[in-house]
Structure 1
Amino acid sequence: MSARRSGRQRHAAKRYSIDAFEGLKDVLGSSDSDEDAPTQEGEESEDEYSLNGNEDIGNEEENELSLDEGSGDNASAEEHGEYDEGGDKYDDNDSIIGPDTYLTEKGRKSTHKAGKRRINRAQKGDYYHVRGISELKRHQGKDNRILYTYGGVDEDVIPFLMARDKWFNQVILPARKHDKYGTGGLAYSFYFTEKMREKELSLDTSGLRSALYSNQKQGSLSPSEALQYLPHPRFPHINFLFGSTRKPVFQNLAIYHSIPLASGWPQTEKADKTTPISKPKSKPGWLFNVGGKPQCINWLPNHNVSKQYLAVAIFTDAAPLDPQVARAFIPTVPSPASIQIWSFNLLEIEGEPRSFDDSVSPRLEAVICTDWGPIKEFQWCPTLRNVHGNEESIHLGILAGVWGDGKLRILNIDLPTRNQAPDTAPQNIHITSAAFESQAPESIFTCLTWLSYNHIAAGCANGSVAVWDLTATFSGYSRSWPSNPKPWFYQNLHDTFILKIESGYPSRPHLICTSSMDGFLRLTDIRSPTADSLFGGRNRLANICLSWQDITQSFISADDTYMLRMYPLRRFFSTLGAGRLDSNATSVATSLLHPGVLTACLDGTVIALNSLRKPIDLKSDVWQLVWFAHEYRPGKGAWTVKNDGVEPSAQENGRSPQNGSTMDTLPNPLVNGQQQPSFSRELLLGQPMCRITEGFKLETKHFSSGNTAARSKEGEIYTTIHELESAVTQVCWNPNPICGGWAAAAMGSGLVRVEDLAI
């Protein structure tokens, strides 16, 4: 009777060794020449073992285009059937100790080799763009950081090094003049060379200007006719406190009136009340009431004369629509809107940047009236040019804007000369038809940016971007402009609504950065948008603030973690932390003349910082300064709850209480130096009031994740909801070299603050 044979394949008994020093004696006793010696009979060489086990597998992997990042042992194990459909089952004689532990038989060296991966080479005619630089964290040297961030050629590195030498020691605010070593002061970005500036000044823009002017229809309105285009606030004045923190000054500012910032610090007396103490150094700046929530503000460029102009667009509610309709994606019905043009006089100082003339109050020079719905955004053409005025009018500039009807329009704005008496009423310019007017196909325009004096780009609600060449459009129509000129570039870059678009003007006008409701920032080169395009990191909240800083060659934006971040062109995929905020940002302002950055926040603060220090040294401290803080509170008893609903109280409607007040009255406020009637305390409590706080100290911010204790409670991070009127809606720097340190900030309460921040 024959013995029963086992069906299991016979294997040599394996011995598993976990002794770390086992075999060390054999290794020390062998020489380097032993590796090249022929193997003994009955033993297999490493090559023979490798060929028997992995040769076929390696050949198959070389013939495949795979992006698998794992090692070849997984592929070989799967091909030899070690995994079945029932799960990860192994042979009884196999054992696994760890992912990096290779089991070998006694006396045999490990022969495990990972399979080779074939490199996917580009075919002829295909174009691929790779990152080409390594991660920033692996190269902490300053030389490597500058190389990987700004490039290796002289045209890219030298301007940045020149900016470092000039502005690195600037802590936050710009200096009015440079020192004896040439550091500090105001100067154009070194990427915007003198040759480029001379080329811009030599361009003849008279043809474009005359074409816009000849095809634009406008007229003038009387003060009574212009009332429907002006804002209608609930109260004809704004009550606010400002000045010293210990002894704030109460002010009652009427609409279209202004007060100097220095009035918040009146003269005080010593303890003996005999010798007055001189008040602190005058604060060059103004506060004025525009009558409503500012939607957009912009300084007029190319005005290096005795006056500076600031344009302000007031937010107006559109006509009510069907609640079932997506309001942001459809055009609104025609409604009146306006843009206010304010003028500021300068001090006559030769040879240095000028400041405000406190002896002359700001004036509302003109009101641009339109009937195309509320103004979403407008921008003046930023290219350098020589402003030529005549006896009849002053050319303010070329204005492009997006209105509520979803159309993009370009206007030529000329201000007729008039009597310069202070009590002269503003001029009301009514524009009925624009020379350039374009409508997006089956969508609306949402934002815009200038690329040059004759190129303009706009974002759409469907995620597309359009670019027009104004010169080419005009040359194709010698007599008049087309009714709806088509752009030469129109491509879908996002999946949904584009909130903001910015160009790299003046040094990189071909690069545009877009922010969409999907949370992505996208950088695109319009010369090759398919190949040269990439996304930044995604945010949970959409970015409504975006600005290009030419000095650092970076786009600056804020994310949902209250961080102000820089997106360098060569490292757009990874950001640099520039500052830490206490709430969500609403606007970011950069300048072509210095590296200072202003950030407006929902909590009413405006943060100032120098963004040039962080790209140079990641370990440097981030110094920040709160320019001012704006707070708003509604009137006491603003809303009265009744059984049939909620209605405004008498105080919110601007009516005084019927019963006379017997409470004490506050000190008489001063408006432009004139004594005003007393206000009862009850009446003031029933009306809204603002408080402007300033005089904050410099502070350093840390970007660690544990820096959220200030807005956390019981381990949970919270977000504060502020009053809508408390927010600072817009900030901007003056682009003119003669006033490069001027800044403007618009507040939700209707106040606008302009100040010379140069030190």
Structure 2
Amino acid sequence: MSIEHSSPRQSRGKPRKSYRVEDEYSFLDEDEDGSAPFGKQTPSVQNGDDDDGDDFMPDAQEEEAEYEEEDEVVEEEEDSSEEHANSDESPAPTPKRNARDARNARVPQAVPTTPDVIPKRRYNDPRYKDMADNIPSPVIFKKGGGIKVRVVDTDTQLRTRGIPDFDKIGGHEPRLKNLFGPDVHHLRPVLESRDYWFPQETFPIRSYKKNKPDDAEVGSLRRSFFEAEGAREKENEVLKTWYANTGSHAFAKAQTTNKLTADEAKQYMITPGSDTMNVLAGPVNTPQVNTLARGAYMSIAKPFPGDQERRGWLFNLGSWVQDAQWATNEESSTQYLAVAIDQRPTSGDQPKPLEQPKAPAFNPTEPFPASIQIWSFEADDVGDLDASKEPQLELVICTDWGAPKHLRWCPVAATDMTEETKDAGSRPIVATAAGTVGIWSLDRPGTLRTPDATHHNPRPWFYQQLADTYILTVSSGWPSNPQFLSISTADGFARLFDLRSPNADTTASIRGRTLCLTQAWHEHTQSFVMPDEHYILRHTPIRRYYHNLYSMRLENSITRVATSPVHPGVLIGGVDGDIQASNPIMRITNYKIMPWQQKWFVHEWRGPIVRMPAKPTIGEDVTMTEVEPAEQPDGDTVPELQAGESADGTKKVPQEVLSQPLVRITEGYKAGQTGIAHSTSANATKRGNPEVGRSISIFEELTAITALAWNPNLKFGTWAVAGMASGLLRVEDVGI
């Protein structure tokens, strides 16, 4: 006798004849009596599925709960005669009795020997063990609590994320299709990006041509291959007209500005840092100490006599650099940089570090004077940073609502906007500590304040709870995918949303063990980049946001990451003051390739020498030399301070230098292939204890890199800026 399995779990694993919505979920259109409405025909569901109407797979936890519940209930089985099998009438409901009552009953229960139907959810019943072993279960529990549907036809398999897992067989081509899409228009941009920028290993190539992208040299600056060609130019006139007729007048009416004198502006530029900073830089064997006053700057070529190839400037802004961003200015040779630094209230008693009575991240501060500095830099005819023309402080925007922490320019200039980019320049996105996200449209009526309005509270067109905790970072997929929004939260997850349907189209990344304080959109690999707890830079592609791809690594925690829209180079900076650059395209397209990395420079800060464990003799100049220490538990070398002149005639360090903070900047590093995985054995040997393994290093707080950005303009894409917690800001043309 043939035995059929009527469990609803088995029916869900069967391939459907059609994936049309009206055929798949036509049971939703049935009337209460089970009949189909006029004009529609409900397909019959076989093998007893009419008692379980939904076709959604249960969670693993729910399935286990059902099995446990069945152990306490004994269900009487129906007679499996042909009359019942061929009857159109529904069988009467069978009463259920408690297991204890069933055991105490005097009348034995009749159990069929060869039933036509195996009871639902009774695979573990010993009476049907032999038959259940021969029937494949449609639900297979995978590692991690997920479920997998066993099907025969791979074209109709159910997929929880809409796309299949990575192909187990195949090589380069299946992997690219899994990451970027199965069609030619999906693969062509990434393959063109790979072939075009293969000469760029770390830093961007300086060459640039203003002609068509096809005429540009391979590896030079150009816009992304994922951006539709001609889209900017085709819609440029539309937004030009809007800004000239509406936008500029609306901004002028909504903003109230006053010009301040130098004395009036002093209170807006007060910083908690020191007035001067000593900087040790130059060749390794003959470094120089230069003193920078607050607000002063010097050329980065000054510590290198005879070397005029270095194009850049080093600023002392006096306090922690919160953010630094380049303005969009494609055609002009003058480039503008907005900088925000740490500023604090000038009135009232200020709590000491780590002694805040309340959590400052969740409590609003009282308004206080602060400012944003706008600096200008000049370029030569070919787009290189002109080191012969000094930078200028063009404008200081003074406010009374507190110090800004993050800056974002409009991604396109008013004269370069298109209809597509209008939504991304004119729609600011704000994320809050409560887990909500709000989006406003500047061109929407009622958004900008009118001059006669006293209390103005513009409503966002999008306001929704996207997380249950603090949102740390927010980034969009502009320019090719501005509809995608990525956020990182304090619970360790990063989440991707499609703003067109944020409730349905959303996914989460792999959970991290540390807070993700920085992320950026990498246009050339169609992925969001962010650090993880292993000091590695991970890529989360929009098609596989839940899958991590790794491309760069530092020796310590990553604090900042920066990407460029005109070349694939990525900059990352860490708590140890290390900044490195790499091109991740080769690594993402071919995971067997070992990526190249190169240090831009390393920034180190130390406090006054009197705070160090080894103190020099008071009142004498000293020379610092490294000697072999005594028996140390961690195996590290400790510098020993000795007074007097060394044997080789090294000059002494004056006391005025030792008594003040000092910054050391080292540069000129070679490129190398460091690899993604850390060397556990080498690291354990360095630490001195092979059984401990890798440890977490702690650095001075003011050593960290706190701001990174590439110049987004096509002609000046090799310009980079780095801000440090010590108050130093470095602007340099790093093109090669």
TM-score by length of 2: 0.71
Give the counterpart of 1:191 among 226, 240, 259.
226
Q: Distance in 2 between matches of 1:479 and 1:681?
A: 59
Q: Percent identity?
A: 35
The aligned counterpart of 2:391 is 362
- Assess, with a 3 A threshold, how the Cα gap between structure 1 residues 115 and 333 changes in structure 2: closer, same or farther: same
CA contact (8 A) 1:473 1:485 kept: no
* Deviation for aligned residue 1:538: 0.9
* Matching of residue 174 in structure 1 with residue 213 in structure 2: no
* Deviation for aligned residue 1:220: 1.4
Structure 2 counterparts to residues 102-251 of structure 1, below 5 A: 112-117=133-138, 130-136=160-166, 138-139=168-169, 141-177=171-207, 182-199=217-234, 201-202=236-237, 203-204=239-240, 205-206=243-244, 207-251=246-290
SS of alignment partner, residue 700 of structure 1 = coil
* Matching of residue 747 in structure 1 with residue 724 in structure 2: yes
Letter in 2 for 1:752: L
Give the counterpart of 2:322 among 295, 303, 323.
295
CA contact (8 A) 1:340 1:366 kept: yes
CA contact (8 A) 2:562 2:571 kept: yes
* Deviation for aligned residue 1:147: 1.1
Residues 287-343 of structure 1, C-alpha deviations (whole Å, 9 max, x = no match): 111121111111111253231111111112357589553321222101111111111
SS of alignment partner, residue 252 of structure 2 = helix
Residues 410-457 of structure 1, C-alpha deviations (whole Å, 9 max, x = no match): xxxxxxxxxxxxxxxxxxxxxxxxxxxxxxxxxxxxxxx995122121
Structure 2 counterparts to residues 2-401 of structure 1, below 5 A: 47=1, 67=58, 112-117=133-138, 130-136=160-166, 138-139=168-169, 141-177=171-207, 182-199=217-234, 201-202=236-237, 203-204=239-240, 205-206=243-244, 207-266=246-305, 279-280=306-307, 282-318=309-345, 320=350, 323-347=356-380, 349=381, 352=382, 354-386=383-415
* Deviation for aligned residue 1:638: 4.5
Higher fraction of strand = 1
SS of alignment partner, residue 212 of structure 1 = helix
* Deviation for aligned residue 1:744: 0.4
- Assess, with a 3 A threshold, how the Cα gap between structure 1 residues 450 and 567 changes in structure 2: closer, same or farther: farther
* Matching of residue 758 in structure 1 with residue 731 in structure 2: no
Structure 2 counterparts to residues 207-606 of structure 1, below 5 A: 207-266=246-305, 279-280=306-307, 282-318=309-345, 320=350, 323-347=356-380, 349=381, 352=382, 354-386=383-415, 452-474=424-446, 483-606=456-579
Structure 2 counterparts to residues 687-698 of structure 1, below 5 A: 687-698=660-671
* Deviation for aligned residue 1:182: 3.5
Residues 461-501 of structure 1, C-alpha deviations (whole Å, 9 max, x = no match): 11011111221235898887770111111111111111111
Residues 503-530 of structure 1, C-alpha deviations (whole Å, 9 max, x = no match): 1111111111011111111000111011
Unaligned runs of 5+ in 1: 1-46, 86-108, 122-127, 267-278, 388-396, 398-448, 641-648, 652-656, 667-677
CA contact (8 A) 1:62 1:117 kept: no
The aligned counterpart of 2:104 is none
CA contact (8 A) 2:251 2:448 kept: no
In the TM superposition, structure 1's runs of 4+ consecutive aligned residues that sit over 6 Å from their partners are 53-62, 68-71, 74-81, 118-121, 178-181, 475-482
* Deviation for aligned residue 1:160: 1.7
SS of alignment partner, residue 147 of structure 1 = helix
CA contact (8 A) 1:201 1:384 kept: no
CA contact (8 A) 2:224 2:523 kept: yes
Letter in 2 for 1:513: S
The aligned counterpart of 1:686 is 659
Q: Distance in 2 between matches of 1:697 and 1:326?
A: 43
CA contact (8 A) 2:569 2:581 kept: yes
Letter in 2 for 1:294: V
Letter in 1 for 2:365: T
Letter in 2 for 1:238: M
SS of alignment partner, residue 496 of structure 1 = coil
The aligned counterpart of 1:715 is 692
* Deviation for aligned residue 1:199: 4.2
Q: Distance in 1 between matches of 2:208 and 2:8?
A: 72
Higher mean C-alpha deviation, range 695-704 or range 587-596 = 695-704
- Assess, with a 3 A threshold, how the Cα gap between structure 1 residues 248 and 639 changes in structure 2: closer, same or farther: closer
* Deviation for aligned residue 1:161: 2.0
Residues 164-196 of structure 1, C-alpha deviations (whole Å, 9 max, x = no match): 221123111111126988311000112223322
Q: Distance in 2 between matches of 1:748 and 1:450?
A: 35
- Assess, with a 3 A threshold, how the Cα gap between structure 1 residues 755 and 512 changes in structure 2: closer, same or farther: same
SS of alignment partner, residue 257 of structure 2 = strand
CA contact (8 A) 1:231 1:292 kept: no
SS of alignment partner, residue 511 of structure 1 = strand
Letter in 2 for 1:740: G
SS of alignment partner, residue 440 of structure 2 = strand
- Assess, with a 3 A threshold, how the Cα gap between structure 1 residues 663 and 285 changes in structure 2: closer, same or farther: same
Residues 114-158 of structure 1, C-alpha deviations (whole Å, 9 max, x = no match): 25549899xxxxxx9842333336255221122111113344322
Q: Distance in 2 between matches of 1:484 and 1:609?
A: 44
- Assess, with a 3 A threshold, how the Cα gap between structure 1 residues 624 and 224 changes in structure 2: closer, same or farther: same
Q: Distance in 2 between matches of 1:724 and 1:591?
A: 28
Letter in 1 for 2:442: L
CA contact (8 A) 1:450 1:503 kept: no
SS of alignment partner, residue 531 of structure 1 = coil
Q: Distance in 2 between matches of 1:585 and 1:708?
A: 22
Unaligned runs of 5+ in 2: 11-46, 75-98, 101-129, 140-148, 152-157, 210-214, 625-650
SS of alignment partner, residue 455 of structure 1 = coil
SS of alignment partner, residue 172 of structure 1 = coil
Q: Distance in 1 between matches of 2:191 and 2:8?
A: 56
- Assess, with a 3 A threshold, how the Cα gap between structure 1 residues 197 and 221 changes in structure 2: closer, same or farther: same
TM-score by length of 1: 0.69
* Deviation for aligned residue 1:578: 1.1
CA contact (8 A) 2:477 2:485 kept: yes
- Assess, with a 3 A threshold, how the Cα gap between structure 1 residues 707 and 700 changes in structure 2: closer, same or farther: farther
Q: Distance in 2 between matches of 1:56 and 1:500?
A: 44
Residues 335-366 of structure 1, C-alpha deviations (whole Å, 9 max, x = no match): 1111111111222x2xx3x2122222222222
The aligned counterpart of 1:270 is none
CA contact (8 A) 1:708 1:717 kept: no
